[in-house]
Amino acid sequence: MADPHHYFSQLNQGHWFAALPPALSQSLLEMAQVQRLDAGQRLFRRGEKPSGLYAVVEGAVRIGAVSENGKEALLTLVEPPYWFGEISLFDGLPRTHDAFAESASTLLLLPQHDLLALLEREPQYWRDFALLMSHKLRLAFLTLEDMSLLPAAPRLARRLLLIAENYGESEPRRILHLAQEQLALMLSLSRQTTNQILKELQAQGVVQLTYGEIEILDFERLRQLAS
């Protein structure tokens, strides 16, 4: 079993973890459990009892939901270093969504019981986890606003920027391991509409499309199109 401390440098590239008090970040690594998933393997399902807080350190995790008739709603696709599962830490209620490994993935699990025991001993650390959740809440409000007010093309441009920045968790990366169908699901657009917008962006030299990947060539132009 890998030592969670092995992932310290990678986690420290994330804005939330890097800003934690050193004593807290070390305590989290001490309690962390390494968990590996195969591609397509389920991490948890909506309605399940919370198991704790997770960090993606290798691979990618798909978070969404599937209706009774099999229709999928894809909320986000997250890559290292990204933390999730904090809602159930606060309210103790069941999971709100499904989480599956998009590819072979490694995660760190901070068990619910151990994390709550730490926060009982050191209640000042609740603020750090509240900051993690409030950041996600701000993004959710912005996404809802985009869905209501923006046409498809700028909405797509904004989502590409968010994914490139790992939803505000790390510095931008150019290569997005993201299929067009997945992007369409996130934006509630048809695959045809998504493909058309991406082809237009490619023609303008903003992105380069390859199978299962989108490379951002011109961040400045993409930001202009997203505004």
Q: Give residue 186's domain range.
A: 151-226
Instruction: State whether 83 and 59 are in the same domain.
Output: yes
CA-wise closest residue to 81 among 176, 7, 2: 7
Same-domain pairing of 128 and 174: no
User: Do 132 and 35 belong together in one domain?
Assistant: yes
Q: Say if residue 100 is in the same domain as residue 41.
A: yes
Tell me the whole-structure pTM to 2 decimals.
0.89
Domain final residue, candidates 86, 107, 138: 138
Which class for 6: exposed (0-12), middle (13-18), buried (19 or more C-beta within 10 A)? Answer: exposed
Residues 98, 76: Cα–Cα separation, whole Å: 11
Look at residue 145 and tell me if it is in a domain: no
Asked if residue 128 and residue 35 are part of one domain, the reply reads yes
Between vectors from CA 57 to CA 56 and to CA 58, what angle results, nearest 5°? 100
Query: Among the three residues 108, 138, 168, which one is the final residue of a domain in this structure?
Result: 138
Q: Per-residue DSSP letters for 56-75? A: EEES-EEEEEE-TTS-EEEE
Q: State whether 119 and 201 are in the same domain.
A: no
Statement to judge: residues 111 and 34 lie in one domain: yes
- Provide the pLDDT for residue 1: 59
- Answer with the one of 138, 168, 188 that is the final residue of a domain: 138
* Domain identity same for 122 and 214: no
pLDDT in tens, the chain (227 residues): 579 999 999 999 999 999 999 999 999 999 999 999 999 999 999 999 999 999 999 999 999 987 777 777 888 999 999 999 999 999 999 998 999 999 999 999 999 999 999 999 999 999 999 999 999 999 999 888 888 889 999 999 999 999 999 898 888 999 999 999 999 999 999 999 999 999 999 999 999 999 989 999 999 999 999 98
112 and 12 in a single domain? The answer is yes
Same domain assignment for residues 125 and 32: yes
171 falls within a domain: yes
Any idea what the CATH number is for the domain that residue 193 is in? 1.10.10.10
* One domain, residues 86 and 196: no
Same domain, 168 and 203: yes
In a domain, 57, yes or no: yes
| Residue-by-residue DSSP string for 79-122 | -SSEEE-HHHHHH-PPPSSEEEESSSEEEEEEEHHHHHHHHHH-
Q: How many CB atoms lie within 10 A of CB 69?
A: 5
Instruction: Indicate whether 146 belongs to any domain.
Output: no
